[in-house]
Amino acid sequence: MKKIFTTLLSSFIILTGVYAQKIAPFHAGDRVAFVGNSITDGGHYHSYIWLYYMTHFPNMRITCFNAGIGGDAIDQIYNRFDDDVFGKNPTVLTLTWGMNDSGYFEWYRADGQAFMDKRIEGSYKYYGMLEDKLKSRPDIKKIIILGSPYDETTKSNPKNLYPKKSIAFEKIIDFQATAAKKNDWGVVDFFHPMLAIDRREQAKDSLFSLTPNDRIHPDNDGHLVMAYLFLKAQGLENKPVADISLDASGRKLLKSSNCKVSGLAVSADSVAFNYLANSLPYPVDTIPRGWGNHKKQAEALKIVPFTDEFNREILAVKNLKSGNYNLLIDGDLMGTWTGQQLSDGINMADITATPQYQQAIQIRELNEERWDIERRLRMYVWMEYDFLKGKNMLYKDNNAAMDTVKKYAIKDIFVNGNKDNYTRARYKGIRDAWQKEMNVLTDEIYAINKPQTHRITVVAVK
């Protein structure tokens, strides 16, 4: 399988070579703010990254923040940065922008090219102002994320075709990479690998897209691809959940990586031992999540080698007699394999019924609850900065502000979409309660994410 994926990925590894670089993994106590537009605001890549850390490094607590706002261009990001980003006291921040700066319907104007050239130059100016702000904070590690691409080639959606947008967006990506290099800041490239995946898969299926709904926003599978690319840039690939190798005939342990094996007992037809891993398997989601999304996170496993590189919990038992063997964990049957399959090694992270995978599912669901509450707070910040600030009502949150929201919601679909949330979020007590709820969920995650000792038995089927 690894060889197959190496071949599949070779088409875009070359493309990432210009901007690919290793960035430091997060450390205990890090506070990571993911700054961006709607792809960050309504997306999952940052929560998937955090879920990997929650499960793979259960004793290393970090905190991740969604600092995206839907519709934001770089000038809007700049205008909210002090309060909305620095206010979170990050030790690390990632910044992605450009999708909105590269325009949409503007490309259909008679003077579209000239109009957008001027707008993009204005974006570069605001980025320069934000860059100065970032350089004033040497205590914060900066990572520029070259954002997920606009897919103009998929046949899955006849809408949202904007001529020349993709060209303009790629120029912004090049600008960002150059700016990051100049400042010696980290770079994670989503753009070129995801573009290459789209083209590779569309050569086989013209309807394929990582952004199938509107050419702009990645679905859940696209967000796992983004998390995969980020974790890979951190050099975290090939760090197993656990890797165990036993010699049945020699009655000995050959290897135990990232885990502890004890109490080994070998009989004529069985091998049993106690198993305590340092990590939990990553619980891949099989339910579409998020408004407007239709694809599952698990669908990404078909297009990137996430399992092979980030979710290997290998059990190998060498020199078993020929025949079939049951695998039991804590007395419960997990499945049946041949002696040869067990000799080659099976990936227990593929077995969703294991107690360790079931433990990880609970962490995933708690993290989803946390993500959902955080989205409410992001919708509130959208209303403040992308609407009320322009009405000189930033953080007023009084009846006059509510009346203004109701008035404009009649004709403005974005205000209307955030109106119901604002009716609650404008009260500080509600927002504080939401934050407390997120804190409780995070505390619970780090209370229950510690791996437990399990008794593993491999026994011949009679």
Put residue 248 in one of left, alpha, beta given phi > 0 → left and psi -120 to 50 → alpha: alpha
What span, in angstroms and rounded, lies between the C-alpha atoms of 345 and 307?
Answer: 14
253 near 246, Cβ under 8 Å? yes
Single out the residue of 14, 441, 25, 55 nearest to residue 285, CA to CA. Answer: 55
Separation CA 270–CA 267 (nearest Å): 5
pLDDT at 292: 85
The sign of the dihedral angle between the CA atoms of 281, 287, 289, 294 is positive
Q: Which residues pair with 328 in a beta bridge?
A: 333, 457
pLDDT range class, residue 438, cuts 50, 70, 90: very high
Question: Across the strands, what pairs with 65?
Answer: 33
pLDDT in tens, 12-51: 443 444 576 789 999 999 999 999 999 999 999 999 999 9
Q: Give the model confidence (pLDDT) of 182-198 as tens digits.
A: 999 999 999 999 999 99
pLDDT in tens, 132-178: 999 999 999 999 999 999 999 999 888 999 999 999 999 999 999 99
Under 8 Å CB-to-CB from 73, ≥6 apart: which residues? Answer: 37, 97, 100, 101, 123, 126
Q: What does the pLDDT read at residue 18?
A: 55
CATH architecture of 2-233: 3-Layer(aba) Sandwich (3.40)
Q: How far apart are CA 129 and CA 123, in angstroms?
A: 10
Question: Rounded to a whole number, what is the distance in angstroms from the first to the last CA of the chain?
Answer: 31
- pLDDT computed for residue 12 by the predictor: 44
pLDDT averaged over every residue in the chain? 95
C-alpha closest to that of 64 among 78, 45, 37, 38: 45
| Domain ranges in the chain with CATH number 3.40.50.1110 | 2-233
The yes-or-no verdict on residue 314 having pLDDT over 80 is: yes
pTM: 0.95
> Within 13 Å, how many C-alpha atoms sit on residue 337's CB side?
21
pLDDT band of 8, cuts 50, 70, 90 = very low
> What's the rounded Cα separation, in Å, for the pair 226 and 431?
30
pLDDT (0 to 100) of residue 354: 98
Query: If you average pLDDT over residues 113-119, what whole number do you get?
Result: 97
Nearest to 179 by CA among 221, 129, 254: 129
Predicted confidence band of residue 269 (pLDDT cuts 50, 70, 90)? very high
User: 3-state DSSP call for residue 298?
Assistant: helix
> What pLDDT does 9 receive?
47
Rounded to 5 degrees, φ, ψ at 215 are 75, -5
CA atoms of 23 and 144, how far apart (whole Å): 11
Residue range 36-90, pLDDT digits in tens: 999 999 999 999 999 999 999 999 999 999 999 999 999 999 999 999 999 999 9
Strands 313-318 and 242-247: what pairing?
A: parallel
**With bands split at pLDDT 50, 70 and 90, how would you rate the model's confidence at 462?**
confident
Determine what percent of the chain is predicted with pLDDT higher than 90.
Answer: 93
Count Cβ atoms below 10 Å from residue 175 Cβ, excluding itself: 15
- pLDDT of 6 over the 90 cut: no
The SS3 assignment for 1 reads coil
